[in-house]
Amino acid sequence: MKFGELELFTTITNIVKKYHNGRPLTVIGNNLELVDFFKENGLEIKNLFSAIEEKTDEEDITDTENISGEENISDEESISGEEDNSNDEDSSGGEEQADSIEYAQEDAVNAEPSPVSSKPAKAPDPDSYILENEIDPYENYVVFTEAKRRKDLCEELEVLGFSEFKDYVFVNHGKIILHKGSPDYHDEYGNNIHCKVCTVYIQEYACNVNINVDNSAKFDEKCFISARHLGGAEITVGAGCRFVDNVSLVAAGTGKITIGSGTKIVMNSGIVALEGHTIAIGENCLFSYDVKIYSGDGHAIYNTRTGKRMNPPVPTRRSVISIGDHVWVGMRAVILNRCSIGSGSIVGAGAIVKGTFPNNCVINGNPARITAKNVAWSNGYKDDDPADIPEEYFRTTEEDEE
């Protein structure tokens, strides 16, 4: 079982147990690990059909995010059937209606493949298996393990007498888009979202996602929040935070991001917490443009002698980025995992930061090192009186204190 699958399998199993009412399961798809998990949890499997929908190269590109936080959602359809042209921003300038919740859909294409095409033929839609095998919702509970939830498919299943969750469940719920102004969102997959001030993307398969953004936080257009890769992502944003021009917050799997109140992050900055990693940012911090905070390696690394993975995505003391209160991070700085920066410190422009640094110091260079101690900074450039700096941030560096 891959990392994160246990949480997804458990979530789907709980949905099935909640609704199947003793009916045996008809599983449409090739996920035999999930089938075994069902059996281990006392669920009876009546039918097992293969129904994998092949992804094209174009679809793979559609679902990717790059390190800058830009996300491409072009060529997708909303649940209402209208084309979504938001391009990861609230194209109406934040005036979306409160019911603007979408399931990003791909067109259902069942045409015959070209005779000269080298791609495999697309498998029939799951409803075809239900028709061909005369599957009755009164005697079966259906689980689609690979097919992506689509509006048109749900409508076809409804015509056949099936109700979503009551009679069937998709393991892949598709991409869910919550625009600015959306009401609180909760679903059967355990996703709980409170974010009225920024567009949120819940990626395919993501479950047990918890996002809580204070209503007083402000996000410009092109800023977004995203939860990816199976289950357990958590993102919390405190009161009075400010995000200016193309700032992204991305948590993957069990990644966690916490941003304290009054913090400001500006242009083209991105924060990414991968599976098993945590990023904790304190209050009243200031991040300049093009800052990247990235916790996790992004790829598996193995020891060639032992074959063991050297960076498993599980929480450890090394999988945390901790940034204290009132920290100023200069333009184009990069902060990597296994990093701790004390309150009141300053990170210089272009610094590559990894390691442990005390409070009220200046950090510069690649690799970053301490270049000054016993410093304090003010939000205002023209401030001449240090009394304007709160007392808790006007301190000597801890290692120099007696």
pLDDT tens-place string over residues 291-333: 999 998 888 899 999 999 888 877 666 689 999 999 999 999 9
H or E segment and range at residue 170: strand 168-172
Asked whether residue 266 is assigned to any structural domain, the reply reads yes
Q: What's the rounded mean pLDDT across residues 384-389?
A: 79
Q: Does residue 85 register a pLDDT over 70?
A: no
Asked whether residue 389 is assigned to any structural domain, the reply reads no
Domain end marker among 115, 145, 172: 172
Q: Choosing from 186, 277, 299, 326, which is the catalytic residue?
A: 299
Does one domain contain both 185 and 165? Answer: no
**Where does the pLDDT of residue 364 fall: very low under 50, low under 70, confident under 90, or very high at 90 and above?**
very high
Contact 367, 326 (CB under 8 A): no
Does one domain contain both 143 and 289? Answer: no
Contact 316, 273 (CB under 8 A): no
pLDDT of residue 304: 93
Q: Does residue 71 register a pLDDT over 60?
A: no
Does one domain contain both 156 and 184? Answer: no
More confident residue, 64 or 283: 283
Q: What is the count of structural domains for the chain?
A: 2
Helix then strand then coil, in percent of the chain rounded to 5, is 15, 30, 55
Asked whether residue 74 is assigned to any structural domain, the reply reads yes
Name, of 58-67, 110-119, 233-242, the range with top average pLDDT.
233-242
**Where does the pLDDT of residue 66 fall: very low under 50, low under 70, confident under 90, or very high at 90 and above?**
very low
Asked whether residue 194 is assigned to any structural domain, the reply reads yes
Q: Does residue 69 register a pLDDT over 60?
A: no
Q: Does residue 115 register a pLDDT over 50?
A: no
- Residue 274's nearest CA partner among 299, 294, 252 is 252
pLDDT of residue 328: 98
pLDDT of residue 311: 83
Does one domain contain both 151 and 203? Answer: no
pLDDT of residue 123: 56
pLDDT of residue 342: 97
Does one domain contain both 82 and 45? Answer: no
Q: What's the rounded mean pLDDT across residues 129-138?
A: 85
Average pLDDT, the chain: 83
pLDDT of residue 63: 36
More confident residue, 136 or 14: 14
pLDDT of residue 1: 62
Does one domain contain both 21 and 85? Answer: no
> Among 130-144, 248-262, 340-354, whose mean pLDDT is lowest?
130-144
pLDDT of residue 73: 37
Q: Does residue 218 register a pLDDT over 80?
A: yes
Does one domain contain both 190 and 130? Answer: no
Residue span of the structural domain in which 353 resides: 64-105+174-376+394-398
Q: Does residue 31 register a pLDDT over 80?
A: yes
Asked whether residue 387 is assigned to any structural domain, the reply reads no
pLDDT of residue 175: 95
**Strand arrangement, sheet containing 346-347:** 218-219, 242-243, 264-265, 286-287, 328-329, 346-347, 361-364, 369-373
169-188 tens-digit pLDDT: 999 999 999 999 999 999 99
Contact 174, 204 (CB under 8 A): yes
Q: How far is Cα 198 from Cα 195, in angstroms, rounded to an integer?
A: 6
pLDDT of residue 207: 95
Signed CA dihedral, 193, 285, 249, 316: sign only: negative
pLDDT of residue 113: 37
pLDDT of residue 260: 98
User: In the chain, pLDDT over 90 holds for what percent of residues?
Assistant: 61
- CATH number for the domain spanning 74: value is 2.160.10.10
**Where does the pLDDT of residue 98 fall: very low under 50, low under 70, confident under 90, or very high at 90 and above?**
very low
pLDDT of residue 107: 36
Burial code (b: 16+ CB inside 10 Å, e: under 16) for 96-132 equals: beeebbbbbbbeeeeeeeeeeeeeeebbebbbebbee
Q: What's the rounded mean pLDDT across residues 67-94?
A: 38
- Residue 178's nearest CA partner among 96, 272, 258 is 96
Q: Is the peptide bond before 367 cis (omega within 30 degrees of 0)?
A: yes
Does one domain contain both 75 and 214? Answer: yes
> Bridge-partner residues for 243, per DSSP?
219, 265
Does one domain contain both 135 and 196? Answer: no
Q: How far apart, in Å, do the first and last CA atoms of the chain sit?
A: 52
Contact 16, 43 (CB under 8 A): yes
Q: What's the rounded mean pLDDT across residues 86-92?
A: 40
Does one domain contain both 167 and 265? Answer: no
Asked whether residue 59 is assigned to any structural domain, the reply reads no
pLDDT of residue 191: 97
pLDDT of residue 3: 65
Residue 299 catalytic?
yes
